[in-house]
Chains A and B, each alone.
Chain A
């Protein structure tokens, strides 16, 4: 079993971090993983994306051409990667920043106002955690417990309040994903 994921959005939305947490959790659950970021003369507000692969078998190419899951935190991400999502694949859309959405009917689309939800939880920073929650709720690619353990290990002492908000965001995302 191999799951290929592309996360894309504006620089600063935490897209690279989504991939990193998924890869790290996959690794902790005994899977093979790879994480390949776009890099270049990029800046906050520019575009960023990351290819992440989680697999039982050794990973050959870390480059993802046809993702099973696309996390699109803004409209340019849908425009760029929308057509490449595999048939019956999953597209997770942040409706706050994707005014035109996606017109495909052969994939499963989960839309949520993720920026608004993050603000309600109390920090725009947890936007990416909502996306991770949706992935967990919808696909079960990684376990919530692995995420909680990982976040707790480095956040509890430093910033317990933010840890709490992150965990709330993941759980909220899981609810959306399960619907």
Chain B
């Protein structure tokens, strides 16, 4: 019998439509794969029994002709989305035993489109990190192992690794500064962060409210389109949700990009950029030219300032968003001598070092006397970055850049300077600051045989062209490599 975990989401949905196999069979195959992959540590909480039940129910619905967009597809959910009755930890000890009574709008949308949830996927604590090493539940291992253990990127490391290892047909993820695209790049998968406001933030544990967006990590661009379609949509419970219809993005993937203008920002072109990455970017430009697109050099002059602006805005919002984790109403409580002592003990014990560091940066930049110098200035710089893109859109339709400044790196290496870690987000944060859609697609391997991604950035609400351009690249790159399944005992 064919290995059902090798299917793409699109193919699996087609096959089920044709009656080639059932959701129950498909789900069983994936559960088996998951059970054999404990070494990757992708799950914080698995819900296999629940998944089998859901698969059977899906098969019944299908029999009645009641078929959702992702009907019967076994998927993973980043453990940042609250799921009713299934533990939700945000990768933190402070929410160790938290069992929401409510379902996030994104997963709720997916449930109504037929999702079969296999479990909750590992992530950097509160989505703060670029390597999945800040998780309180241990690091995720990148399936693309060479001789040493590598990180899958982060914060959606569990989502990316699970998809790369064929443990699920796709997964939900979130992206605040690159947390979908960078791990996708590190694992040879596709990840898209849509326009801010496309996916409701209701019920997703908040990191930085003005930057957080949900999106999928998938095996192919078309799979990503299908998944995003099932996740997105207006939600009156989120004041920043966009009240506009969700297009049929699956068809965007088949659109020609002939005559499209692709911007190449010179500020992303750094002398001495890792050669493999520069080569891949050049290759991407050629592929797009071959697909009939026009290449336009552009300038995004404030690119350099995106990362420091991000490291003011994101921690500031996070310091406030994470104040609710105080041990009073849910989550961990570490009893102290009095109320304030209990607060401090709870939060000191419950949060990891990186989260604490960001809370403290955020508290500092908002505190009296520093607000104008840091927070207000960063928000003004952010406005400048938005302006950069607005100017660029006069010249081009989409922008092509590398996704990350490096290939996956070794797990557990010593990072002395936190800023060095923050540099992982250098090519991705700009789109979060500007609220734009950005996709990462696997485009090749570096000399060490590790995957590298290219990023396509689009205008606000123009996921259509992002998918079209990404699909053209995907066809040209024809990246069909998979990691060896070394993790199976």
A in complex with B? no
